[in-house]
């Protein structure tokens, strides 16, 4: 059987990983500034995480959600305390798309309304409703199309107010990333998030903070929405939550009440996933990783701002992006193939950095040095081979 060919692949086979490094099958060592797709929060193969999963595996990996699973409550308690959302309720699932799917569905159960406000360049996953609220026509199949989703410009207060005054209580929820990831590291204005909070209160709509990529401490706060000093009604989480073990969830505000069978899952909240997620939180707490993300993120961002050639450095904590001008368009490719550094991207010309929260200053410096070297070389090449003149008539 062939694999379904949906990813253009780099010709690299990673066989080993530790901290912020991974190794290929030929022994080449790579620096991972991409966090394996914003997933690695506490470092690859973190010893405490490995041990916790291994210990749990020897006890029990899985039993259905029809019995008591105390490790779910342990996880909920720790997550509530570290995130500052102690009064919230936790529903566990397996991925970011599934978390958003449940969030949007729960919102509609809660207020009985149907319309959803989503934003240009937003990404929320590839399943039914999650993809319908994602601003990328190429990944929305005809069956996913629904008249219930309204896309608005990001950070545009006037458009948001107009939409609420037009549709009023028909609006079930607003879904927004505190920092757009796939869309190119676009930070939501704090005043815009406050406005969403106020309008949701006024119209009984549910504020869904998609924190799949910008959550779990990456921004320098547990949720990037925390910068606005507001509480969302639902937070969706995944990626960094399991450090590579598939686990996701939603944090649900206390005024949203559960009913039997309104949500459910076979695998969500299984013993093994909870052990992995609990270990992640233990390491985040013990090593003060949210503070580290804030401080090292600031260091990285300031150094990038001083770097000649790249443009529009932005982000928060260790979720950082910058624009790559056309004459440096080979930058990402060369960082990987010549300097052995993985970075992320956002089309058409953004490099996204999403390293593990415990990346060290030395590792950041290693990246910055390679970046500077590569920019200099690419610049020299473009001076010797200037791009053809564009003649405007
Ligand atoms: C903001 C955001 N939401 C949701 C998702 C979907 O998560 P998953 O791929 O785990 O379904 C992603 C994935 O990149 C994401 O960045």
Q: Give how far the C-alpha of residue 347 lies from the chain's centroid of Cα atoms, to the nearest Å.
A: 16
> In the prediction, which pLDDT does 72 show?
98
Neighbours of 49 (CB within 10 A): 25
Give nearest CA residue, ligand 1 atom 8.
96
Angle, helices 271-286/70-83, rounded to nearest 10 degrees: 30
Cα 155–293–123 angle (5° rounding)?
A: 35
> In the prediction, which pLDDT does 385 show?
66
Identify any residues that bridge with 21 across adjacent strands, giving them in sequence order: 18, 31
DSSP state of 184: T
Considering the chain, what percentage of its residues have pLDDT values greater than 70? 97
> In the prediction, which pLDDT does 112 show?
98
> In the prediction, which pLDDT does 182 show?
97
Neighbours of 70 (CB within 10 A): 9
Q: Is the C-beta atom of 101 inside 6 A of ligand 1?
A: no
Predicted confidence band at 371 (pLDDT cuts at 50, 70, 90)?
very high
Mean pLDDT of 79-105: 98
CA–CA dist 387, 365 (Å, integer): 31
**Residues 250 and 103 sit within 8 Å (Cβ to Cβ):** yes
* CA 237–ligand 1 middle distance (angstroms): 9
Mutate to test the pocket of ligand 1, among 125, 186, 268 (most ligand atoms within 8 A of CB): 125
Identify any residues that bridge with 91 across adjacent strands, giving them in sequence order: 250
**Residues 245 and 267 sit within 8 Å (Cβ to Cβ):** no
Strand spans (E) along the chain? 14-18, 21-24, 29-32, 89-93, 115-119, 149-152, 171-177, 179-180, 186-187, 206-210, 234-237, 248-252, 311-316, 319-323, 341-342, 344-346, 350-353
HSE on the CB side for 250, CA within 13 Å?
A: 28
Is pLDDT at 159 greater than 70 in this prediction?
A: yes
CA–CA dist 3, 311 (Å, integer): 38
Burial profile 357-377: b = 16 or more Cβ within 10 angstroms, e = fewer: bbbeeebbebbbebbeebbee
> In the prediction, which pLDDT does 382 show?
83
Instruction: Tell me the pairing of strands 186-187 and 179-180.
Output: antiparallel
> In the prediction, which pLDDT does 391 show?
46
> In the prediction, which pLDDT does 31 show?
98
* CA 27–ligand 1 middle distance (angstroms): 31
Mutate to test the pocket of ligand 1, among 7, 93, 96, 209 (most ligand atoms within 8 A of CB): 96
Of the candidate ranges 191-200, 304-313, 380-389, the one whose mean pLDDT is the lowest: 380-389
Strand order in the sheet with 350-353: 311-316, 319-323, 350-353, 344-346
Angle, helices 190-203/157-167, rounded to nearest 10 degrees: 10
Burial of 26 (0-12, 13-18, 19+ CB in 10 A): exposed
Q: Is the C-beta atom of 179 inside 6 A of ligand 1?
A: no
> In the prediction, which pLDDT does 253 show?
98
Q: Is the C-beta atom of 184 inside 6 A of ligand 1?
A: no
Is pLDDT at 390 greater than 50 in this prediction?
A: no
> In the prediction, which pLDDT does 393 show?
42
Is pLDDT at 84 greater than 70 in this prediction?
A: yes
Q: What is the pLDDT of residues 301-337, one digit of tens each?
A: 999 999 999 999 999 999 999 999 999 999 999 999 9
348 preceded by cis ω (within 30°)?
Answer: yes
Mean pLDDT of 373-381: 94
> In the prediction, which pLDDT does 377 show?
96
392 or 243, which is more confident = 243
* CA 342–ligand 1 middle distance (angstroms): 19
Q: Is 58 left (phi over 0), alpha (psi -120 to 50) or beta?
A: alpha
Of the candidate ranges 8-22, 135-149, 376-390, the one whose mean pLDDT is the lowest: 376-390
> In the prediction, which pLDDT does 320 show?
98
CA–CA dist 296, 46 (Å, integer): 19
> In the prediction, which pLDDT does 48 show?
98
CA–CA dist 85, 88 (Å, integer): 6
* CA 138–ligand 1 middle distance (angstroms): 16
> In the prediction, which pLDDT does 386 show?
56
CA–CA dist 272, 291 (Å, integer): 28
Identify any residues that bridge with 151 across adjacent strands, giving them in sequence order: 118
Find, among 347, 373, 367, the residue nearest to 181 by Cα.
347
Neighbours of 4 (CB within 10 A): 6
**Residues 214 and 17 sit within 8 Å (Cβ to Cβ):** no
Q: Which atom of ligand 1 is nearest to the CA of 180?
A: 1
Predicted confidence band at 387 (pLDDT cuts at 50, 70, 90)?
low
**Residues 131 and 118 sit within 8 Å (Cβ to Cβ):** no
Q: For the chain, give the mean pLDDT.
A: 96
Is pLDDT at 355 greater than 70 in this prediction?
A: yes
Is pLDDT at 392 greater than 50 in this prediction?
A: no
Distances (CA, A) of 100 to 123, 250, 363: 10, 8, 34
Q: What is the pLDDT of residues 255-312, one digit of tens each?
A: 999 999 999 999 999 999 999 999 999 999 999 999 999 999 999 999 999 999 999 9
Name the helix (H) or strand (E) containing 91. strand 89-93
> In the prediction, which pLDDT does 383 show?
79
Q: Classify 341 as helix, strand or coil.
A: strand
Considering the chain, what percentage of its residues have pLDDT values greater than 90? 96
């Amino acid at each position: 059987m062939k694999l379904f060919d949906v990813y253009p692949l780099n010709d690299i086979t990673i066989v080993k990983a530790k901290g912020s490094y991974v190794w290929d099958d030929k022994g080449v060592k790579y620096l991972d500034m991409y966090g394996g797709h914003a997933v690695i929060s506490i470092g690859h193969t973190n010893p405490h995480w490995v041990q916790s999963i291994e210990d749990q595996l020897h006890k029990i990996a899985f039993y259905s959600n029809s019995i008591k699973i105390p490790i779910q409550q342990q996880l909920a308690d720790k997550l509530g305390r570290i995130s500052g959302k102690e009064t919230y309720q936790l529903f566990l699932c397996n991925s970011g798309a599934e978390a958003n799917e449940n969030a949007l569905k729960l919102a509609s159960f809660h207020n009985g309304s149907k319309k959803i406000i989503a934003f240009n360049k937003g990404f929320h996953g590839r399943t039914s409703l999650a993809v319908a609220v994602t601003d990328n026509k190429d990944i929305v199949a005809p069956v996913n199309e629904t008249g219930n989703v309204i896309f608005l410009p990001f950070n545009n207060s006037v458009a948001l107010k107009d939409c609420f005054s037009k549709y009023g209580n028909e609006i079930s929820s607003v879904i927004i990333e505190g920092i757009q990831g796939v869309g190119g590291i676009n930070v939501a204005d704090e005043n815009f998030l406050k406005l969403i909070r106020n309008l949701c209160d006024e119209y009984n709509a549910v504020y869904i903070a998609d924190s799949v990529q910008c959550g779990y401490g990456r921004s320098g706060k547990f949720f990037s929405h925390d910068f606005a000093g507001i509480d969302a009604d639902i937070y969706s989480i995944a990626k960094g939550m399991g450090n590579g073990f598939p686990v996701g969830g939603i944090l649900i505000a206390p005024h949203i009440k559960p009913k039997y069978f309104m949500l459910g899952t076979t695998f969500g909240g299984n013993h093994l996933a909870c052990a992995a997620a609990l270990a992640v939180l233990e390491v985040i707490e013990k090593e003060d990783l949210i503070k580290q993300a804030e401080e090292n993120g600031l260091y990285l961002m300031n150094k990038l701002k001083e770097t000649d050639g790249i443009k529009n450095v932005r982000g928060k904590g260790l979720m950082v992006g910058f624009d790559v001008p056309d004459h440096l368009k080979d930058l990402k490719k060369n960082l990987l193939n010549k300097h052995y550094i993985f970075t992320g991207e956002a089309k058409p010309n953004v490099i996204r950095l999403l390293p593990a929260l415990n990346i060290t200053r030395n590792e950041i410096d290693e990246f910055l040095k390679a970046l500077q070297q590569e920019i200099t070389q690419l610049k020299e090449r473009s001076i010797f081979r200037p791009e053809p003149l564009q003649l405007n008539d």
